[in-house]
Amino acid sequence: MTKSKTQIEKQMQKKNNPELVETLMNAKKKDKWLEVAGIISGPRRKRIDLNLNEINNQTKDKEKVIVPGKVLSQGEINKKIKIVALSFSEKAKEKLKKSGCEFSSILTEIKLNPSAEGIKILK
């Protein structure tokens, strides 16, 4: 179930993080990114935070995945994938660099890939 743009707008007004607000504004404008906007506009406790081992188990090689929350550092990644997330822990960034994975913020990815092509949302 995706949220309406109006609902996302109302929830966005409660947010104080300027990067999060900008991400929501950009995601809301693109229909393909609406589902991601719906997840990240909600309360923080409902966001999806995943460890590297969980991401590794849910992905195939060379996939582009979105984590609508934070990427945490527990476990390892042994596939060459691109991870797009709201944020990354410092240790997770180090491990991703070592394993040769690409990673970027959701905001950057919306600008690079407005049609959300080839993207899988992890839940």
Give the domain CATH number at 80. 3.100.10.10
At residue 1, the pLDDT reads 65
At residue 46, the pLDDT reads 87
- The residue assigned the tokens 């600008």 is 111
Q: Taking a C-beta distance cutoff of 8 angstroms, is the pair 95, 76 a contact?
A: yes
Could you give the C-alpha distances from 33 to 68, 76, 103, 109, 114, in angstroms and in order?
A: 11, 28, 18, 10, 8
pLDDT band (50, 70, 90) for residue 2 = confident
Q: Residue 51 forms beta bridges with which residues?
A: 72
**pLDDT average, residue stretch 113-119:** 93
Q: pLDDT digit string (tens) for 5-59? A: 999 999 999 999 999 999 999 999 998 999 999 999 999 998 999 999 999 999 9
Classify residue 46 by its DSSP letter: G
Q: pLDDT digit string (tens) for 58-97? A: 999 999 999 999 999 999 999 999 999 999 999 999 999 9
Domains in the chain, number: 1
Rounded distance, CA 112 to CA 82, Å? 13
The residue range of the domain holding 11 is 5-121
Rounded distance, CA 51 to CA 110, Å? 23
